[in-house]
C-alpha cells in the first residue's frame, strides 16, 4: 500500500465532523485509496487503557479515569468513526514497539480494521 498519509507533522490532523453528536474527531492519520477513506490511529497504551497491560479498575492518574473507561471511550470513538464511513486502522503502542527497529514494512500486513 503506497499512499501519503496526512498527519500532524506534514499538514495537520484530519478532522472528522460528526453531525449527530455535533463534534469533531481528530485522526492521527488519514488517507484515501480506491475511493475509500481511511483513518489511522496509534493508541498509546496508558492514555487509551490497553486492557492487555492495565487492570480495568486501576486509574490513569493523568486523566483521572479508570482504564476500562479509557478503553471504552477509545473503542466507542473508533466505532463512531467507522459509522461515518471511514475504514479504521489502528495499532496499540505495545504492538508497535515490537517493530520499532523497522516499523514500516509491517503496516501492510499488520493492522486491525474494524
Whether the per-residue pLDDT at 107 is higher than 90: the answer is no
> Is the whole model's pTM more than 0.85, yes or no?
no
Give pLDDT, residue 113. Answer: 47
Share of the chain above pLDDT 90, in %: 79
Q: Which residues pair with 59 in a beta bridge?
A: 66
Which residues span the domain enclosing 43? 6-113
Is a pLDDT exceeding 60 seen at residue 11? yes
| Residue 30, strand partner residues | 6, 39
Helices marked H in 1-114: 45-48, 67-83, 93-97
Cell 493492522 -> residue: 111
Residue 1: inside a domain: no
With respect to residue 60, please indicate whether it lies within any of the assigned structural domains.
yes
In a domain, 96, yes or no: yes
Residue 54 lies in a domain: yes
Asked if the model's pLDDT at residue 76 lies above 80, the reply is: yes
pLDDT tens readout for residues 12-56: 999 999 999 999 999 999 999 999 999 999 999 999 999 999 999
**In-domain check, residue 24:** yes
Residue 110: predicted pLDDT: 46
Q: Flag whether pLDDT at 102 surpasses 80.
A: no
The pLDDT value recorded for residue 100 is 75
Q: How many domains does the chain have?
A: 1
Amino acid at each position: 500500500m503506497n499512499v501519503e498519509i496526512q498527519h500532524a507533522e506534514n499538514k495537520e490532523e484530519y478532522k472528522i465532523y460528526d453531525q449527530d453528536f455535533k463534534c469533531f474527531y481528530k485522526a492521527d492519520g488519514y488517507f484515501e485509496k480506491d475511493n475509500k477513506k481511511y483513518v489511522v490511529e496509534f493508541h498509546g497504551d496508558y492514555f487509551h487503557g490497553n486492557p492487555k497491560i492495565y487492570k480495568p479498575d486501576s486509574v490513569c492518574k493523568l486523566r483521572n479515569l479508570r482504564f476500562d473507561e479509557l478503553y471504552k471511550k477509545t473503542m466507542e470513538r473508533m466505532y463512531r468513526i467507522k459509522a461515518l464511513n471511514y475504514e479504521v486502522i489502528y495499532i496499540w503502542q505495545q504492538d508497535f514497539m515490537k517493530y520499532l527497529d523497522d516499523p514500516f514494512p509491517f503496516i501492510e500486513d499488520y493492522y486491525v480494521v474494524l
